Structure 1
């Protein structure tokens, strides 16, 4: 269960970072991918504040909001809604998101 929670946390962080970049003029909108512990994940951020997270073929929709250097991601999974906040930074084609426990996730923007 801890591994699943870690994957979701990384996903939320990624989504938040993308949204923050979009608000700052750098484009968070688009597709970002990464992997950790042999688990691949892809975040898709849309201009309208909605997106999706793909975890090994399972797509999970979410909503996001960006304010300053923080992104808030709201995701519902198995009937439970979770809202998480993350700090983000975009540098060239890399998105780095950090959660409340200082766990860092790095994503690469896809073309």
Structure 2
């Protein structure tokens, strides 16, 4: 099952409308609808949605995998190299990459590993 199907199933199991879930998660109802219908596959708001549903992010997105200690180390090494090089294009890419990692590494309670 995809993210949209999982979201729809879990939301219905919890007896929530799209609007009620959106309010509880602090997102727009349109986003919930778009995710459920496969028109939006973003994972940036999944931590908030999972928390509102009382489930793990993995329940919504089976591909979600928290970072391992080895991955954390690799990220920090890459971060250090890029920052020390002080190349604007690389710094922008780093910022985008870190935003992605942060969005993927948040736990349902909003904390990060």
TM range (shorter): under 0.3
Could you say which structure has the higher helix fraction? 2
Normalized against structure 1, the TM-score is what? 0.27
Structure showing greater radius of gyration is: 2
Greater strand share, structure number: 1
